[in-house]
Structure 1
């Protein structure tokens, strides 16, 4: 079997890469997998779903590795990009985590140049690692990977963006990303400085402008990431659903196909994951049996 990282690298080199959709757990991954072959395990989303906390450095590497493993079990044919923040501080930990993720079939990791206490890329108050300290970590991760793609991410601003992009471009990193870009013009300037493939991160309410895929391709970004649409949609939908229930004296809304989900639709979605690694039972289960 060809490693997903090798498959993704070939796609990157060919210039045709489907957008990465940010997910926050196995259920959101199941839904997102119907829209793209590429999934992104977002640190923002994971911190929210696993801990109920903001993305400010609480994630333990072992929690993220276990979470990624669960996604790989149910969606083995999808290519996954996993956010490993700063590699969890230490160089040896960064290498250990990237090795584990590669062995389970993760296609690409994102390694950032923030110092602790780290922040979401679209928060204020970010502090960067000294460039040489980050470069040591990046080079060590690159040296011990085999098929795994590596995305080198900087959270720099101003002229420091270009200094770091120049150094990243001298490595074997597969993709480069500048997070929190405030203008599409900055992306165009970065494109002039490097031949490396560029990824652009879109997050609702973030620092970066809302742009189309066509606009991004014109500006030189070959890869696109939607890091949090599933999480934000879940927050909105759950709030609206509960408001609707209690506005009608606790009556559940009618499950109408295409408008709201009931037990049959949810069970059918989850059954697809079961079918990928387990033979179907000889006797067809009823909807109630499938859901219990």
Structure 2
């Protein structure tokens, strides 16, 4: 039988002190991350890099992200999927359409932000914000459109007072959780937690503006969900660079690796079994 996905995620948040989501860049990386974590984050930064080879400044087409989520859901029928949908792809009607499609293929949650175009990664300078009323109108339409989907409202404001103003407004509009991105000081998280009674999301990205934190440290300041944007992408970049360098240095002779063709095929066969076991169903049973 089909379950209520939003209640399911709320129940998990009630049962867990903190819930990590691992950012992936393609279906293969998702299948590896899924061996260790049951929360998978469909990262905009990672997808832009993998699918287009371009920076995360607004190139993602909503149809591409929907197709990607559907492929991930097919091989991971029982994992929680949190999807970055940027600003909802500019237009409120498009945002609502994308939310409906993602929910229909089994996504559990989305993150929608208050940036305007041209957008930037949340940990870079030069971000521009929509007027608060304009974003709230979009957010309310998305909340009215979704059935059970869990909606995280994200602000990219840098000024602490503006962060507090916007997060309060997002909570009052009915967002299920709140994310303030690019936070440099965890005391800001404490301040947000004091003024709103909603789950707080914290974004971790290597080399970003926010300090690297353990789950225990984030739990202590009131964070409920941690999304790791790029661990798989950055690990792949480093490993591929090292492998290509050694291949060139070794005159094209392959080195014996921890992973070989049998190991890789075993993972792919497991994905095939997961797909067949799910019977093509999008939602967890």
C-alpha distance in 2 between matches for 1:120 and 1:113: 12
Give the CA deviation at 1:214.
0.7
Q: State the Cα deviation string for residues 229-280 of structure 1 (Å, max 9, x = none).
A: 000000000000111111111110113xxxx21000000011111011337x
Q: State the Cα deviation string for residues 113-167 of structure 1 (Å, max 9, x = none).
A: 0011111101110000000000000001101111100000000111110110110
The residue number in structure 2 matching 1:288 is: none
Q: State the Cα deviation string for residues 49-95 of structure 1 (Å, max 9, x = none).
A: 00000000111111111111110111111110000000001000000
Alignment of 1:1-292 (within 5 A): 1-158=2-159, 159-255=161-257, 260-278=258-276
Indicate conservation of the 8 Å contact 2:76/2:275, yes or no.
Answer: no
SS at 2:223 equivalent: coil
Higher RCO by CA contacts (8 Å cutoff, separation 6 or greater): 2
Aligned residues: 275
C-alpha distance in 2 between matches for 1:3 and 1:38: 17
Indicate conservation of the 8 Å contact 2:151/2:177, yes or no.
Answer: yes
C-alpha distance in 2 between matches for 1:268 and 1:4: 30
Larger radius of gyration: 1
RMSD (Å), alpha carbons: 1.1
C-alpha distance in 2 between matches for 1:227 and 1:58: 17
C-alpha distance in 1 between matches for 2:196 and 2:243: 47
Give the CA deviation at 1:193.
1.3
Q: Give the unaligned 5+ runs of structure 1.
A: 280-292
C-alpha distance in 1 between matches for 2:13 and 2:141: 22
The residue number in structure 2 matching 1:287 is: none
C-alpha distance in 1 between matches for 2:32 and 2:225: 21
C-alpha distance in 2 between matches for 1:265 and 1:3: 36
SS at 1:170 equivalent: helix
Indicate conservation of the 8 Å contact 1:3/1:105, yes or no.
Answer: no
SS at 2:173 equivalent: coil
C-alpha distance in 2 between matches for 1:194 and 1:202: 22
Q: Give the unaligned 5+ runs of structure 2.
A: 278-285
Indicate conservation of the 8 Å contact 2:99/2:146, yes or no.
Answer: yes
The residue number in structure 2 matching 1:282 is: none
Query: Runs in 1 of length 4+ with deviation above 3 angstroms?
Result: 3-6, 13-17
SS at 1:169 equivalent: helix
